Structure 1
Amino acid sequence: MGMDISGITNTNATSLVQNKNDVKNTDTSKVEEKVAENKSTEQGATYEKSDVKETGTYKINKMSKEDRAALVQQLKADMEQQKQQMLELVNKTLSGQVGTFGKANDDSFWRMLAGGNFKVDAATKAQAQADIGEDGYWGVKQTSQRLFDFASALAGDDVDKMKEMQKAMHKGFGQAGKSWGRKLPDICQRTIDAADSLFDNYYKSKESESKEVISEDTIKE
């Protein structure tokens, strides 16, 4: 099992900036019913940390290697499904507006999107708003938690490896920024900050565990 989540992070980051641009480049319209319909038919499976059948604050870190490997595959499958749904939505919207669509990994494609030289219909805007909203799959809360969970599944309960994963996360966002061709939208920075906070809380929990062990040893002596 690989120990680098920069590729996963790059996918998360580029998807975030794509949806962010969808929201900015369209006329406003009330399409709440369409959003509700899209949520029920298109959103697909969303990973919830409560699915993990373990005890303790950091459930994933303490899972067995085999269970963590299985969780990584689950997370990847969920993300790929969401990515494909997003790309299909964008493909339908941009059909005829840009040259050759489909090369989502091509830097020129992302730079074109960053430039905002296209139109987005009201329904697409509404779906994008829902996707990056507070409860959306690509929103700050879910994305930062998903990044932390990926790291936890890859690293296990190992502080040094978790720090490696955190560095890989920042590397992934850096790569996404280069593909984007300009400063990433604010939602990306807020996602990084939220994920960093999750990592910091984990490190603090490990420090507390170490202090408790030392205290117990001192009492025994």
Structure 2
Amino acid sequence: MTAAKADGTSADGVGEVGVGPWPGGPDAWPDDPRYDPELLRDGDRRNVVDRYRYWTVEAIVADIDTRRHPLHVAIENFAHDMNIGSVVRTANAFAVAEVHIVGRRRWNRRGAMVTDRYQHLRHHGDVAALLAWAAERGLPVLGIDNVPGSVPIEGRELPREALMVFGSESTGLSAEARAGCEAILHISQHGSTRSINAGAAAAVAMHAWMLQHARPTDSAGNPI
């Protein structure tokens, strides 16, 4: 299926994605509380996998909640980082437990492509609050940053229940965050740039965890 933008048009701006009104009119609508009458009537152009067509947001969240992964991700937001939306979108794609925003409460949601409606979010005023939250739950904290002393994420056994922490695009992890990490991992690079985009790094790191702990899925998102 063609990738969709938040407004329902395709990623290249041509045509529409999703589905139109439910065939047959109201008399043919399914008798299922998960379905949204407005979407059945008007069509569903949202950026969701096919099995969630016509479902309400609440029904989609409830379904994902039955199979969320025990991975949490956090990103420091001390400079209105534009990558937070991208991190949220990837976290939704991988059905992580929660995304934690540390620092400023407000963030640019455009990059999330409306996926923040389906992803649990939690705010922490500072790094200390995040680390205290993780400690209460016994979650190991893994920093992702290419700083001296960090070790490659490739080939490392990652804990099934964990909190991955990402820093701001410009400065990386704060000193306080690095001090609170059980380990700091980096993504191996082979070119000339010092670092890759924070949103891209978060996607790579989450996928590394998924390779170890999540079942593969087909193109529709169904486990195989």
Q: Same fold (TM over 0.5)?
A: no
The TM-score normalised by the length of structure 1 is 0.21
Bigger helix share: 1
The TM-score normalised by the length of structure 2 is 0.21
State the structure with bigger RCO (CA 8 A, min sep 6), 1 or 2: 1
